[in-house]
Structure 1
């Protein structure tokens, strides 16, 4: 099986001419530091990038998926990706939308640098490899393994800035756990949708704006005039915005796809409960796409990849609806 490294805290330690830690450990070095890993799988490691999680982009995601496909096509039973946690909830969902093989693609990382006392990277990597070679992990797309738990890429979020158990799945809960390098799933695999296929070139620019107390709509107006190709709105509660935002949102919909999802961290938008100006009825009436249970950052990932994969707005919106409705 393959371990593909992108950098991140799991690969960090002191580096000459740096204050603090930075990525420098190769994927091969990470694998070599995990006791008992060779008893689980024959691992071939490769460093694809050496970046902090915050500096990864969509081009890095696509390159990783291409490398992972090549590894699987050459006979790998599964793939583990090690990366920084700052963007892990976004990249994992992007991997899931692009991954088109039955073999597992498992993402993990660490909250403590490799040089820190109590570094959590080796245990996370051991558990991730165990999941990647497990028959029960097949046909599940991209999974996230962290602190002994297995998460769906579409629902996992980073819920704490520093805790070793920072990752949560607020809508569905974990899919399973890993004890003594043995994965145990509590749910069967779900239906896999056709993958998105970016067309090449630069990814489209999609903005994310949060509805806020006393919001006048000026930020939305500026975004609509700034050349973005899509917009995600993190709405209040079950799909509410200050009344002054309805006009700028309606104008934005005439220019680009606009998605609404909740800023609360879990749950979905309502459709017809409230009727005041700025309620969910207004958002649906003016044509915002429903982001389902996706967190705002994940809705932005989906809209970006849908726009990148389809030649016209109607096709992109159709693909967005299809994938958002499955979450």
Structure 2
């Protein structure tokens, strides 16, 4: 259709303005990526200070600050089994300035545990790198007369209500195993949730709770002194830091619930630009696989990983259905 000259000119002007606006936006977007980061980065931990996640986050933040040339500040946002901190990051601006260091539960088991989860980790978050594999150990206060898994189960059956298992929140490894053990062996174990592993350990030492499945990092120092007693480690092989403690399988319990080990993962909001995710992933991978932090992580009783974003994403997609099935099999829901 032939438009009158004034209309043609007006349409051309509008099209030109739209094109210029688009190019300006794209230019600004690319500039933002190329200058990232130009201000401090916030690293959120969804648990209280003092536990493995917090300790690892602070070690990671220190090294990452040096590599990025900007401060990386750890912020603890604990509560609701990791939901509060995880939800905050999922809803944060997708610009690379708010990141999450997560344990497995908030991004896996919580999907099955909560019908009204305020975020969906599958669509609201994206993995940047798996930092380390945290090893966990079944441990008891010495007041519990058990030196093996079998003796613990026998004690639980003989003394209903005497076992009080602490966790660092609903849906975490100790809560899942507590529920599994109670259901499978018909023993009465009370679940006592905390806002982090550090306050849980304080009460375990004091006898307020008397059993847990905690990280090797946090509990190991109390084994040699006899303040706590290790019974078995989760996973397919023994923990390097506890070479004399058998796996659940070696103790005669090869159930899948005791075999799964999951990474602690660095995540960003889902729509964070690929260039920023790649930059972060590359820097984190180099950092974790460098001698100082690698040795530091092993010293914590964890196993360093430091993979790239596509590898972390593949690991998450492979792990998720396994954890969801194990969680669903417990029959537990929390809302």
**Is TM (by shorter chain) over 0.5?**
no
Higher normalized helix content (fraction of residues): 2
TM-score (norm: length of structure 1)? 0.29
TM-score (norm: length of structure 2)? 0.28
Report 1 or 2 for greater relative contact order, CA contacts < 8 Å, sequence distance ≥ 6.
2
